[in-house]
Amino acid sequence: MTFLQYVLGQELPRRIADTAILAIAANAVAYYVFHANLSDAAPVHMVLLYFCCVLAFMLFSKLDLYTAWPERPASATFVRLAASWALVLILGIFMSRMVHGIGRISHHWLLYWYLTSMVLLLLYRFVSHVALTRMHKQGFNFKRVIIVGYGETGQEMHRRALQQPWIGYEVNAVVGSAEQTENLQDANIARINKLEDIHAYVSANQIDEIWITLPMSAAAQLRPLQIHLRNTLVDIRWVPDTMAIQMISRRMTNFLGTPTVELNRPAPSGARGICKHLLDKLFALIALTALSPLFMAIGVAIKISSPGPVFFKQVRLGLNGKKFMIYKFRSMKLHQEHNKVTQATQGDPRITRVGQFLRRTSLDELPQFINVLLGDMSVIGPRPHAMQHNQMYEELLDLYMVRHRVKPGITGWAQIHGHRGETDTLEKMETRVQFDLHYIQNWSFLMDFRILLWTAFKGWSGKTAY
């Protein structure tokens, strides 16, 4: 790996580069606003810069700014970067205000610093992407790879390596059965049939990495394979399949003196559970107070648009399967469901004109802050589904009911990733459930804060919201 590729492609130098960009932009803007160095301005500006640089170095990585960023659409990169930088700036301002004896922050400097930094951060990513792509297209610095186990996971890894040339991986050989490799059309890729031949191929072809993509069902082969490859002196990666990921991503605990894996992680409990509960109540109280004028306006609009109540009420399942009554602003005309629940579809004639706006902007969900205040829901969590849908998907999807190990939420991990609205196929619901399970298994206060921030930026509307 060349120095240039290391600087452009690895996380640590990119974190350093982003931090340097913030510092350079802050000083450049100071010349424009103050006509002097930043150090000559009020001390609060240097304190703020220090806190923001430290926070950016620590949090940008946690906010997934460096994980597979070249794969994301430009719009997604922009939104994620803008939200992350705004979060760092807000936290930096708060922390700098905690320092005693500092002065007033210039609003002009703050605004220009934010915008200038955004432009430079985006420009750095664009230049890095273009430079890495050109380097690899010209044949510089590819890592040669052997894929061991050319099943579904192995083929997916090969496809991604081909689609992302800027990453710099070239598959030179695959190890798999004749059935697995029969559709492999690239004549330049070697087929290795015996594990004993891998060592010789590695030595003869200057292989850099070996990707082991055997499924969980072939776990018994992993240890012998690792022993066989121990003398190859190349990097070896194990790429787990979906089943293995579900296992290894679970929380490890010590139970009766023995390491155990929590397959069904319980809801946040103890001090963390109490803290989340109190924060939910506080946030709901503030939201209901601040939004009360909006509630009144929406209520009047609903009454004018169609006869019927302002609120829609329906029984849903909450924590540990306990039933509760959920509240929404009514967005449909009064009608009978005849013991079934029909999901809203695009152009649904049951939806009123006011209801279309409420559903598209998710304003119909605001009364659920009442549910949060009552303790039935959380601000962040898996969305509660209709009772009939629970009964249906409980039979069709594994681990579906695990969603009820935590309180349902107004917004969640699935929603900020675009999985909201109608689930007209089993695959859509399965994907949504996977996102919900990921949230349950990886819950933290930082994760909740990220979801809240992303919801504020992009989570209240979408193409599937109707």
Q: Tell me what pLDDT residue 108 has.
A: 92
Q: Which two tokens stand for residue 306?
A: 């169609």
Q: Tell me what pLDDT residue 379 has.
A: 95
Q: Tell me what pLDDT residue 417 has.
A: 85
Q: Tell me what pLDDT residue 419 has.
A: 81
Between CA 153 and CA 318 the distance in angstroms is: 36
Question: Smallest Cα–Cα separation from 242: which of 438, 92, 22?
Answer: 438
Q: Tell me what pLDDT residue 460 has.
A: 53
Counting as low any pLDDT under 70, the low residues of the chain are: 1-10, 67-73, 100-103, 136-141, 166-167, 242-243, 245-250, 264-267, 335-347, 421, 458-466
Q: Tell me what pLDDT residue 339 has.
A: 58
Residue 340, phi-psi category: left (phi > 0), alpha (psi -120 to 50), beta (remainder): beta
Q: For 434-457, what is each residue's pLDDT tens digit?
A: 899 889 888 888 889 889 888 877
Strand partners, 409: 378
Residue 161 neighbours by CB distance under 10 Å: 18
Between CA 437 and CA 439 the distance in angstroms is: 5
Strand partners, 378: 409
SS3 157: helix
Identify the residue whose tokens are 């350093």. 16
CA dihedral 181, 186, 190, 194 (to 10 degrees): 0
Tell me phi and psi for residue 238, to 5 degrees. -100, 120
Q: Tell me what pLDDT residue 359 has.
A: 86
109: buried, middle or exposed (CB in 10 Å: 19+, 13-18, 0-12)? Answer: buried
Q: Tell me what pLDDT residue 331 has.
A: 87
Between CA 409 and CA 420 the distance in angstroms is: 13
0.85 cut: is pTM over it?
A: no
The residue ranges of every structural domain in the chain are 3-137, 143-246, 270-459
Fold for domain 143-246? Rossmann fold (3.40.50)
